[in-house]
Amino acid sequence: MQSHLRWVIFGRISALYKKWFGQVEQLTTEAGLDLQIVPRDGHDISRKHISPNAIKVLYRLHKAGYKGYLVGGGVRDLLLGLEPKDFDVATDATPEQVKKLFRNCRLVGRRFRLAHILFGREIIEVATLRGHHESDNSKIAKTNQSGRLLRDNVYGNIDEDAERRDFTVNAMYYDISDFSVRAYGGALQDLQAGRLRLIGDPETRYREDPVRMLRAVRFATKLDMHIDKDAAAPIVSLAPLLKDIPAARMYEEALKLFFNGKAEANYQLMQQYQLFGPLFPMLASAMDDAPNGSAAMMALKVMQATDARVAQDKPVTPSFFYAALLWYPLAERAVEIANEAGLNSYDAHFAAMGDVLEMQNQRISLPRRHATPTKDIWQLQLRLERSMGSRAFKLIELPKFRAGYDLLLLRADVEGGRVAKLADWWTQFVEGDDAARRQLVRGQGGGKRPQNRRRRRPRQRPAAKPQGES
């Protein structure tokens, strides 16, 4: 599948390459960034391939006298012949000016002030063109000691905005006023070469926003591109910066990394660049202690299983993903608690659940709507071991039974032995009809046993006294 995508993209880009550069206008920005302007008849982007709601936003901005551009990944994917997931817009209007134009608008964000235009379930994100930081604008732009941007509401023009973009392949703008494409920093050449290259100094750009390292991984696997050697060089040394990213933002990034059909590829590349550990420190610690152990095997199987479900168009949930991924760190923590507090296995596991989720939430914040089912899936692992008798009929009716059973199957693949036998029994029970299930339960001694009532001796009456005795 990956190689097929590579050849499809290469073939399309090769076909368009002559078309682009036969008509492209070559310019240079004031900061020295290459700019190529491709006219309407020099590219294949059509308005019919763009979300109608995004077109509405672009035209309303244009009619109000503002600049309106489709920007970033939407333009990139359209040029590659892919279907964009989102359509983002850039404009020279401020967020407050955008809000005045659209009644269905809300302003969000502190670090980056954005306008969200709501069309039912679709959200068109509108960002004001960014400008350069100045020494006296600390009220609207601020960085911490490591160089990470804490606040960034400096506005500028399209050339300055392009210089602030992360990767060249994302520094492309579709202009609604004349339907041309403006590509900065050699974006077209990088698309043709399958190369991910940062605009500016890589270390500085990663320090500004460490999440760009995760974006490099995600774009590389999604588009089957390679990370340029200059862009790749500082990643390993800067990976610890991810620890300082807000946990709520990391939850959204994790969804993009693992729930879009590229979980295994992203996991492997993150391991290569040491980006996985900062997101899952407990799991990384367990894998460091035993590189080929149960935790490492489970992580790989979870990624593969998630990709398989996405490919089959089946639902994937964060609750199961995190329950499976953190099962062995949970088991390890439960053993520690049992030894320290003298608790039995069930109580130790229950106490460990809170500890593991609390520690994980420091890096990736798992919303309560997913955290509670995660605990349910963990509890089921213990109940599945204890309920192979008549209680199995009630257990199978629980809402999270299927997720708990699926985790048991993954554990069986990892551990074998006793867990594999347990999984096999439950598989027979799940797939069997009512009669087969009752037979399984009887085989475990779980049927009703006849009651052996002890026969009481008849109560002996005292012997009758002879008449005349008193």
CB atoms inside a 10 Å sphere around CB 36: 21
Contact 225, 196 (CB under 8 A): yes
- Give the per-residue pLDDT at 389: 77
CATH topology of domain 246-445: cca-adding enzyme, domain 2 (1.10.3090)
CB atoms inside a 10 Å sphere around CB 458: 6
- Give the per-residue pLDDT at 449: 44
Closest CA to 108 of 116, 100, 118: 116
Domain ranges of the chain: 2-244, 246-445
Domain 2-244 has CATH 3.30.460.10: yes
- Give the per-residue pLDDT at 150: 46
The amino acid sitting at 404 is G
Q: What percent of the chain has pLDDT over 70?
A: 85
pLDDT over 70 at 169, yes or no = yes
CB atoms inside a 10 Å sphere around CB 457: 6
**Which range has the worst mean pLDDT, 4-8, 72-76, 79-83, 371-375?**
4-8
Q: Give, as one character, the DSSP assignment of residue 166.
A: S
- The continuous run of DSSP H or E covering 405 comes out as helix 401-415
Q: How far is 184 from 169, CA to CA, in rounded Å?
A: 8
Cα→Cα distances 468→340, 463, 465, Å: 79, 15, 9
- Give the per-residue pLDDT at 139: 46
pTM of the model: 0.85
CB atoms inside a 10 Å sphere around CB 274: 17
| pLDDT tens string 95-151 | 999 999 999 999 998 777 899 999 999 999 999 999 876 645 544 444 455 545 444
Helices (H) and strands (E) in the chain, counts: 22, 13
Cα→Cα distances 58→54, 106, 170, 317, Å: 6, 17, 19, 35
Strand boundaries in 269-315, DSSP class E:
none
Catalytic center residues: 86, 88, 166
| pLDDT tens string 370-424 | 999 999 999 999 999 887 778 899 999 999 999 999 999 999 999 999 999 999 9
CA 426 to chain centre: 30
- Give the per-residue pLDDT at 448: 47
Closest CA to 6 of 229, 194, 198: 194
Contact 261, 314 (CB under 8 A): no
At a CB cut-off of 8 Å and minimum separation 6, what does 378 contact?
A: 323, 327, 330, 349, 353
- The continuous run of DSSP H or E covering 56 comes out as helix 52-63
- Give the per-residue pLDDT at 447: 45
Q: How far is 270 from 264, CA to CA, in rounded Å?
A: 10
Q: Give, as one character, the DSSP assignment of residue 320.
A: H
| pLDDT tens string 206-265 | 999 999 999 999 999 999 999 999 999 999 999 999 999 999 999 999 999 999 999 999
Q: What percent of the chain has pLDDT over 90?
A: 75
| pLDDT tens string 185-214 | 999 999 999 999 999 999 999 999 999 999
* Confidence band of 152 (pLDDT split at 50, 70, 90): low
